[in-house]
């Protein structure tokens, strides 16, 4: 059995490195303290920044989904494609309590306004990066979970068992679910972002 969260962590680290560079470049393009920030430049550059970050995510998430799918036992033979990912990112997530696509736009607008309004622009770029990092972590895990679930479904698995990490960081709600068996179409959503409980196919 592979650890899908090790794969997710690798994706998160890679995306975070990219995001750090992109935020830094955008800050430079917006003036970086050398001259007064121009509002239209900020709007344009921040819009481009979030479009690029989103594209980075989609590329990396698709690769992650493929690796998780193929590494899951059992799995089918219809590897997640970009349409699969697109559908997932358009869906409301009961874990994050929002839709991925809406949240990208919300974060972009928030950063744009904060940078325009703030005296310390740099601080707002840093804040934007911090929030983006949390967002990427949450969705990387969701993509990994969904790809593993898709692999089970494609392989004809009917029931799954909930398995916690078994350490002392497991929350009460997850602890109570440990070992529970659910029909594959009726699995309760993860109770919180960052939950790394996994599902096991029941024969």
Least distance between Zn ion and beta carbon 104 (Å) = 26
Q: 99 has which bridge partners?
A: 92
| Smallest separation (angstroms) from Zn ion to the CB of 203 | 23
The span of 37-45, 70-78, 123-131, 169-177 binding Zn ion (CB under 5 A) equals: 169-177
Strand partners, 98: 93
Whole-number minimum distance, CB 149 to Zn ion, in Å?
15
> Are the C-beta atoms of 144 and 4 separated by less than 8 Å?
yes
Q: Write the DSSP symbol of residue 118.
A: -
Q: Which is nearer to Zn ion, 46 or 174 (CB)?
A: 174
| Selected range binding Zn ion among 13-21, 50-58, 118-126, 187-195, rule: CB under 5 A | 187-195
| 46 part of the interface to Zn ion, by CB under 5 A | no
Is 160 a binding residue for Zn ion by CB under 5 A? The answer is no
What Rg value do the Cα atoms of the chain yield, rounded?
19
Work out how close the CB of 56 gets to Zn ion at its nearest, in angstroms, rounded to a whole number.
Answer: 27
Report how far residue 36's alpha carbon sits from residue 34's, in angstroms, rounded to the nearest whole number.
7
Q: How far is the CB of 97 from Zn ion (least distance, A)?
A: 16
Tokens standing for residue 133? 């990092």
Among 85, 197, 199, 201, binds Zn ion (CB under 5 A): 197
Among 136, 160, 174, 199, binds Zn ion (CB under 5 A): 174
Question: Number of residues in contact with Zn ion, rule: CB under 5 A?
Answer: 3
Minimum CB distance to Zn ion, residue 143 (Å):
17
Q: How far apart are CA 152 and CA 37, in angstroms?
A: 52
* Cα–Cα distance, 147 to 62 (Å, whole number): 10
The alpha-helical segments, DSSP class H, found in 38-98 are 39-71, 82-90
Looking at the Cβ atoms of 156 and 188, the one nearer to Zn ion is 188
Query: With binding defined as CB under 5 A, does residue 195 bind Zn ion?
Result: yes
198 strand-pairing partners: 163
Q: Minimal CA–CA distance to 197: which of 162, 160, 172, 157?
A: 162
Distance CA 128, CA 134 (A): 10
Which residue lies nearer to Zn ion by CB, 129 or 197?
A: 197
Binding site for Zn ion (CB under 5 A): 174, 195, 197
């Amino acid at each position: 059995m592979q650890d899908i969260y090790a794969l997710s962590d690798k994706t998160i680290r890679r995306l975070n490195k990219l995001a750090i560079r992109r935020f830094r470049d955008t800050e430079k393009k917006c003036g970086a303290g050398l001259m007064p920030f121009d509002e239209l430049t900020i709007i344009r550059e921040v819009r481009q920044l979030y479009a690029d970050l989103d594209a980075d995510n989609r590329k990396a998430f698709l690769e992650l989904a493929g690796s998780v799918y193929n590494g899951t036992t059992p799995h089918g033979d219809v590897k997640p494609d970009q349409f699969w990912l697109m559908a997932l990112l358009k869906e409301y997530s009961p874990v994050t309590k929002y839709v991925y696509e809406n949240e990208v736009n919300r974060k972009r607008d928030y950063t744009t306004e904060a940078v325009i309004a703030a005296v310390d622009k740099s601080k707002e770029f840093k804040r934007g990066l911090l929030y983006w990092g949390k967002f990427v972590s949450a969705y990387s895990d969701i993509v990994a979970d969904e790809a593993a679930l898709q692999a089970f479904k494609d392989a004809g698995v009917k029931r799954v068992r909930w398995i916690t990490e078994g350490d002392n960081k497991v929350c009460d709600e997850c602890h109570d679910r440990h070992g529970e068996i659910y029909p594959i179409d009726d699995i309760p959503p993860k109770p919180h972002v960052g939950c790394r409980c996994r599902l096991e196919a029941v024969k």
